[in-house]
Amino acid sequence: MPSIVNRLIASTAAMLLIASIAGCGPTREQQQAIEAENAAAKAEESASRAEQAAAQALEAAQKATEAADKATIAVQDATREINRVAEHLDQINAEREAAAHRVHHRRYKKTAPSVTASAAASPAAPDSPASPAAHDSPAAANSPAASSSGTVADPR
């Protein structure tokens, strides 16, 4: 085998030597063919790099999709938590309002009967010094308890 390779190399070198001596360099068509082959090789390299870049972009897109899915799940979880807290706060506020209403209702029940009971028990007697009518009545003004300034003297 080494002899076949050596003969092939020798024959190729001889043909090149003969072609260069005779002044027959590569023809225009041969030069264009060589340039076309070089362009094709560059195009293949570019295509290979483009495929690698596309594969990397696809991988990045898949990772971005996974991250977006995780973010969506996180947002849904946060929304559920916010809604849960809002419902809890609404419940607390409703309980506070109900408690305040109960306290107000109890106070009203306690004060309402005592005011009406005291008003019914002592219906502002005209000769009572606490009633405004007693000060304005002519009987109170003529009473010996009234002083010259128009005020009622202390009956004690």
The tens-digit pLDDT sequence of the chain (156 residues) is 556 666 667 676 666 666 666 555 568 888 888 999 999 999 999 999 999 999 999 999 999 999 999 999 999 999 999 999 999 999 999 999 999 888 877 776 666 555 555 555 555 555 545 545 444 545 544 555 444 555 555 555
Say how far apart CA 49 and CA 39 lie, in whole Å. 15
Q: What was the pLDDT predicted at 120?
A: 56
What pTM was computed for the model? 0.39
What pLDDT, on the 0 to 100 scale, is given for residue 3?
Answer: 67
Residues 6+ apart with CB under 8 A from 155: 129, 145
**pLDDT for 73:** 98
Residue 105 has what pLDDT? 73
**144, 135 in Cβ contact below 8 A?**
no
pLDDT confidence of residue 69: 98
Per-domain boundaries in the chain: 30-109
The DSSP result for the chain, as a single string, is -HHHHHHHHHHHHHHHHHHHHTT----HHHHHHHHHHHHHHHHHHHHHHHHHHHHHHHHHHHHHHHHHHHHHHHHHHHHHHHHHHHHHHHHHHHHHHHHHHHHHHHHHHHHHHHHHHHHHH----TT-TTSHHHHHSHHHHHSTTB-TTSPBPP--
Q: What pLDDT does residue 93 have?
A: 96
